[in-house]
């Protein structure tokens, strides 16, 4: 009977350890208390390792993991795992993304109630200072208050349902879901972020990415109600921390409940000096139930991976590159990137994804569609999208994924085309790889245009009239935005598309100014 070695590098719940001990095919090694130098010797014999935040899966770790098939990160975050390094060595990286959902939901409600009733402060007054002063602690009720929920996914939707039980009015903002997911719960769905800023309490539950970092800053806070309450139990940096501090200090924000920070541990953070904030040290997963769920799910995933049964929640591709031609993988990677690009250009609820392959790459169009789906859905989901679960997540969200193999390509040796259909329309992008291994977009929405797949990108569609290029250039210059590359294409309908690569991030104000130009039909911005 073949046995597989699973090394547990950090402490997980005893129930998970029991699962490993009781499986006759598993040689279980508990190494959580071992010195990290000694651990490197232990993992040389491991088929699978289970880690948490205490073990860095870095280049040194990977170099010693000579026989490793997979690593299971017992939790959501994989910041301490070198995924690219693991991929190069054929090590599959998995995580446990949903085990702490209820814990995170209930912690959000804890902060919300604590902010409204100032509970930690009244507690300290009596418990620590022995002061009985009831008149000092008048709070507010949740009933009748308007709660703005940013992100209506796995956690945000559950927070909203619990808030509904408190007889709150719920307004949800999430451009990547179907409105019925909100309205079916007798809640209000909005496409306008201004509706969220008008709420009494705002809570955020989005992934952390280019679109959501600093989503709430000085400008947004200025538009809020005086005395607003803000909650963040999702990811540090979704609220701009300097703006949050200023808003709390000026009392524009009456109270804030914060569990996560940009840099942790945050033991000397300026927010800790304020008397109108409740804080906790990143406790979103810190319940006995969630630790049980994390431990048992991590153990189950490790057992399946060790036996080669499946790789649940894989973060990288379980692929044997020796079995595919060398030219295929760059196309797969490019497919994911243009899927990601299309989702930034067409920011709305995804309805369908169609992937076409022309030339030899058409033999791998099904794999291509998986990669494209991962890229397209990664921006809009609070779930971890990976190559294993992409099809299932798409089905759950009602997204149709199609693939089409076209053996002949009249112009290019190999060409991939994706069509991303959302509630707002369809975006089409074609791309290829030239002989010098350079990835290039060659068409966008019917415009033949050659663009590199990199950097900050502005897509400006306009009426084809004189003076537009000069207006674009002067507008960007006025905002101190430097142009790195400028590609232009025209069609038969007297329209033009400019794709402008720039050297630095582009502000909303810059985009608004471009949109105000007379000839502008549309303007979009993406970051690769």
Choosing from 235, 254, 269, 313, the catalytic residue is 235
Contact 151, 204 (CB under 8 A): yes
Q: Which of 111, 205, 282, 313 is catalytic?
A: 282
- Of 300, 327, 332, 331, the C-alpha closest to 316 is 332
Active site residue 21: no
Q: Do β-strands 456-463 and 4-8 pair in parallel, antiparallel, or remain unpaired? A: unpaired
Sheet holding 350-359, edge to edge: 400-406, 350-359, 414-422, 425-433, 439-444, 447-452
458 vs 126: CA distance, rounded Å = 57
- For strands 26-30 and 253-258, give the pairing: unpaired
Answer yes or no: 313 catalytic.
no
Contact 3, 303 (CB under 8 A): no
Polymer length in residues for the chain: 528
How far apart are the C-alpha atoms of 241 and 468, rounded to whole Å?
39
Write the Ramachandran bin of 246: left for phi over 0, alpha for psi from -120 to 50, otherwise beta: alpha
User: Which one of 141, 194, 242, 264 is the catalytic residue?
Assistant: 264
For CA atoms 14, 17, 19, 23, the dihedral sign is negative
Please report, for residues 380, 411, 415, 434, the alpha-carbon distance to residue 358 in angstroms, rounded to integers and kept in the order given: 28, 10, 5, 14
Kind of pairing between the strands at 48-51 and 4-8: parallel
Cα dihedral value 242, 248, 253, 259, nearest 10? 70
Q: Is 527 a catalytic residue?
A: no
Residue 16's SS3 state is helix
- For residues 366 and 372, the answer to whether their CB atoms sit within 8 Å is no
What are the residue numbers of the active site? 235, 264, 282
């Amino acid at each position: 009977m073949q046995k597989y070695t699973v090394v547990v590098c950090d402490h997980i719940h005893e129930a998970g350890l029991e699962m490993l001990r009781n499986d006759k095919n598993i040689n279980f090694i508990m190494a959580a208390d071992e010195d990290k130098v000694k651990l490197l010797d232990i993992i040389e014999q491991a088929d699978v390792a289970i880690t948490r935040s205490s073990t860095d899966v870095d280049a040194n770790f990977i170099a010693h993991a000579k026989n490793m098939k997979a690593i299971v990160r017992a939790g959501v975050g994989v910041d301490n795992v070198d995924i690219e390094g693991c991929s190069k060595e054929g090590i599959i990286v998995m995580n446990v993304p949903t085990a702490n959902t209820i814990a995170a939901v209930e912690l959000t409600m804890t902060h919300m109630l604590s902010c409204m009733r100032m509970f930690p402060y009244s507690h300290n007054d009596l418990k620590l200072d022995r002061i009985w002063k009831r008149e000092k602690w008048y709070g507010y009720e949740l009933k009748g208050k308007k709660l703005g929920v940013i992100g209506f996914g796995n956690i945000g939707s559950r927070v909203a349902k619990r808030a509904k039980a408190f007889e709150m009015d719920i307004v949800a903002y999430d451009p990547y879901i179907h409105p019925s997911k909100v309205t079916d719960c007798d809640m209000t769905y909005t496409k306008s972020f201004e509706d969220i800023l008008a709420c009494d309490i705002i809570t955020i539950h989005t992934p952390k990415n280019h679109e959501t970092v600093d989503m709430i800053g000085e400008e947004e806070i200025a538009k809020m109600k005086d005395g607003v309450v803000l909650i963040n139990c999702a990811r540090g940096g979704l609220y701009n921390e300097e703006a949050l501090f200023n808003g709390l200090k000026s009392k524009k924000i009456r109270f804030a409940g914060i569990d996560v920070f940009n840099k942790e541990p945050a033991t000397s953070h300026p927010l800790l000096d304020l008397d109108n904030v409740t804080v906790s040290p990143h406790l979103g997963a810190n319940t006995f139930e969630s630790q049980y769920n994390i431990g048992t799910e991590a153990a189950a995933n490790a057992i399946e991976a060790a036996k080669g049964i499946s790789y649940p929640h894989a973060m990288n591709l379980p692929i044997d590159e020796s079995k595919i031609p060398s030219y295929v993988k760059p196309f797969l990677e490019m497919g994911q990137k243009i899927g990601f690009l299309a989702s930034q250009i067409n920011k709305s609820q995804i309805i369908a994804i169609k992937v076409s392959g022309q030339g030899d790459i058409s033999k791998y169009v099904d794999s291509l569609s998986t990669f494209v789906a991962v890229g397209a859905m990664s921006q809009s989901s609070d779930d971890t999208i990976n190559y294993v679960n992409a099809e299932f997540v798409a089905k759950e969200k009602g997204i149709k994924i199609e693939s089409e193999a076209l053996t002949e390509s009249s112009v290019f040796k190999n060409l991939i085309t994706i069509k991303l259909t959302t509630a707002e329309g369809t975006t089409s992008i074609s791309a290829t790889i030239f002989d010098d291994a350079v990835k290039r977009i060659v068409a966008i929405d019917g415009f033949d245009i050659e663009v590199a797949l990199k950097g900050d990108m502005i897509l400006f569609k306009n009426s084809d009239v004189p003076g537009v290029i000069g207006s674009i250039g002067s507008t960007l210059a006025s905002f101190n935005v430097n142009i790195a590359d400028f590609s232009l294409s025209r069609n038969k309908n007297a329209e033009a598309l400019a794709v402008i690569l720039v050297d630095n991030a582009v502000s909303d104000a810059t985009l608004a100014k471009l949109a105000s130009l007379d000839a502008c039909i549309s303007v979009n911005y993406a970051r690769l």
